Structure 1
Amino acid sequence: MLKGILEGCILKVISEKEVYGYELATKLHESGFSTVSEGSIYPLLIRMNKEKLIEGTLKKSTAGPNRKYYRLTEKGQKELSQFIINWNILKCGVDKLLKEEEQ
């Protein structure tokens, strides 16, 4: 389940601006995904690129080698929209169950 959630969150971060892998990992960590390693993010980026959800472009870096920056494709935007719908449905159901548990 975390994999699907992580993919949706990656799409959301990329939808806000082009990012490179390490920058993406940092944003995810800042958002509370502290247990997600860079080693699990890069394979997802490769797969999402193959599925044409994102596109990567190499750009020069002022601090070392070129970096691959990722941006959302139209297909990726549609996937993100569907993720948000599915997440809200799942979240409501879980919240309802947890609220019932508190009573």
Structure 2
Amino acid sequence: MGKQTTEMLKGVLEGIILAVLARRPAYGYEITAWLREQGFADIVEGTVYALLVRIEQRGLVDVEKVPSEKGPPRKVYSLNAQGRDQLTEFWRTWSFLVNRLEQLREGED
């Protein structure tokens, strides 16, 4: 990814993580691995974990500690009602921005 892509991604990564969690509960490494599979090769675990902490502090997810075969229990995150509301708002904002950017690109007023 180029620098511009990385910078733009930083602005929407929280929404992307909420969208991933809307599909199913997951832990940090699972989210990172899935994002990489989707082409976000430069995503690092530390960035995802920092966002998960912030999302948890804001009350957008429920967290369950699940035993791990290797090491300490994993924190599995699932989107709660407040998180779903936030995700709905993210998609509303995303749609607004996409529409305005398309108009700008096409030279409309």
Tell me the C-alpha RMSD between the 2 structures.
Answer: 1.5
4+ runs deviating over 6 angstroms = none
In the alignment, what sits opposite 1:77?
84
Matching of residue 68 in structure 1 with residue 75 in structure 2: yes
Question: When you count strand as a share of all residues, which structure comes out higher?
Answer: 1
Runs of 5+ consecutive residues of structure 1 not aligned to the other structure: none
Distance 2:58 2:102 in 1: 32
In the alignment, what sits opposite 2:5?
none
- Name the count of aligned residue pairs: 99
Q: Determine what percentage of the aligned residue pairs are the same residue.
A: 36
Alignment of 1:2-81 (within 5 A): 2-62=9-69, 64-65=70-71, 66-81=73-88
Runs of 5+ consecutive residues of structure 2 not aligned to the other structure: 1-7
1:59 partner amino acid: V
Match of 1:56, SS state, is: strand
TM (normalized to structure 2)?
A: 0.82
Distance 1:26 1:75 in 2: 25
In the alignment, what sits opposite 2:99?
92
